[in-house]
Structure 1
Amino acid sequence: MKINSTEIKNLEPIKTIAISHIGDYAGIAGAFEKLAAWAGANNLWAASPKMAGVYHDDPMHTPVEKLRSEACLENVSGIEPGKGMQDYTISGGKYFVMQVEVTMSEYGEAWQKVSSAFNDKGYEYDMRDHYELYVSCAGDTQDADAPWIVNLCIPMK
C-alpha cells in the first residue's frame, strides 16, 4: 500500500446509480460486477463515469451481517436505474481525502490508515457519506492483484 497524498477538499455531490449490499464490506465486489456488466450492456463506459463504494456503518461497532454499503456508478447519461438498482447521490461538502495505491487485499489497511490520520489530526467526523472513489487502475482491471489508485473520503465538520 502506498499513500500518494492527504488533503482537505470541498467535494461536489455525485449523482449515481447504486446497488445496495448488506454484509461484510469485502462482499460488495459482486454488486460492483453486476453494476459494471449493466453499464457495459448499456454502453455507459464511453462517457467515463466514476465508480465509488459508499460505506454507511462503522465495522468496529456494527455486526458484520448488518453492515450497509452501496456500489455506485456515476450517472453521467441520465439513464434510469436497472432492476435491483436505485438512484443514489453521494454527499458533497468538506472531506478529508487520502489518495492511496492499493490492491484488493489492502483496502482494510488503507481505511485504518486514513482513519488514524484523521483522528491524529483531531478532526471531527460528520454524518455524511464515507466513500472510496476509484481514480484508475495501474494494471489489468481483471487482475485481482492489480493496484488501484483510490481516494478515500471521510466527511468532516
Structure 2
Amino acid sequence: MTMREVVIRNVEPMEILSVDHVGPYMQIGKAFDALFGWLSKHNLLAAQMRMIAVYFDDPGVVEENALRSKAGVLLPHPIQASVTVSAPVSATHVKGGEYAVLRHKGPYSDMRAAYEWLYGTWLVQSGREAADAPVFEEYLNSPKDTAPAELLTEICLPLV
C-alpha cells in the first residue's frame, strides 16, 4: 500500500508562461518542449524556474482527445521589457489560496491512482471542498535527468 500524506498549504498567486495543450494529459511533454524552445530562443532559461502544469478537465468526464491543459514555468525573475510574450506562449494566472498538496514519487504514468485517492478518499474524508479552479502540478525534478521511480511531483488541489 502506498503511503500518502496531504499537506494544506497557502499558495501565492502566480503568473506563469505557458503553452496550451489539448489531448491526452500524458502527452503534455510536447507542450513543454515547445515552451522550452521558446524560452531558449528568448534567453529565458533559468536553473531556478519552476515547472508547472495546469489541468482543466476531469479525464473521467471529458473525452481524452479534448482534455485541456497548459505546460508552464514560473520564472525566478520578471521578463525584460524587450521580450514580448508571443504564440505559442501566453501568460497564465494561477490563483492563490489554500491548496491540498499531495507529493507523488514515481513515474508520471502512476499518477492516476494518486489523483483517484486525493479526490475519492482524502477529499471525501477531509470535510473540505474543492474550489472551482483547476488543479496544478509542480514538477520538482526533471525526467531528462531523473529515473522514473525517483520523479517527484506535487499535485495541488485548490480548496474553498
TM tier relative to shorter chain: 0.7 to 0.9
Identify if the C-alpha distance between structure 1 residues 120 and 89 changes in structure 2 by more than 3 Å, giving closer, same or farther.
same
Distance (whole Å) between structure 2 residues aligned to residue 104 and residue 61 of structure 1: 20
1:111 to 115, 133, 137: 115
CA contact (8 A) 2:38 2:89 kept: no
Q: Which portions of structure 1, spanning 4 or more consecutive aligned residues, are displaced by more than 6 angstroms?
A: none
Distance (whole Å) between structure 2 residues aligned to residue 25 and residue 128 of structure 1: 17
- TM-score relative to the length of structure 1: 0.85
Match of 2:102 in 1: 98
Question: What value does the CA root-mean-square deviation take over the aligned residues?
Answer: 2.3
Q: If you compute each CA radius of gyration, which structure gives the higher value, 1 or 2?
A: 2
CA contact (8 A) 2:52 2:136 kept: yes
Match of 1:123 in 2: 128
Match of 2:159 in 1: 156
Give the CA deviation at 1:121: 1.7
Distance (whole Å) between structure 1 residues aligned to residue 71 and residue 150 of structure 2: 19
Distance (whole Å) between structure 1 residues aligned to residue 85 and residue 117 of structure 2: 34
- TM-score relative to the length of structure 2: 0.83
Give the CA deviation at 1:123: 1.7
Work out whether 1:37 is the aligned partner of 2:37.
yes
- Three-state SS of the structure 1 residue aligned to 2:133 is coil
Give the CA deviation at 1:35: 1.2
The size of the alignment, in residue pairs, is: 155
CA contact (8 A) 2:54 2:134 kept: yes
Gaps of 5+ in 1: none
Work out whether 1:26 is the aligned partner of 2:26.
yes
Identify if the C-alpha distance between structure 1 residues 147 and 47 changes in structure 2 by more than 3 Å, giving closer, same or farther.
closer
- Three-state SS of the structure 2 residue aligned to 1:30 is helix
Identify if the C-alpha distance between structure 1 residues 51 and 71 changes in structure 2 by more than 3 Å, giving closer, same or farther.
same
Distance (whole Å) between structure 2 residues aligned to residue 77 and residue 64 of structure 1: 35
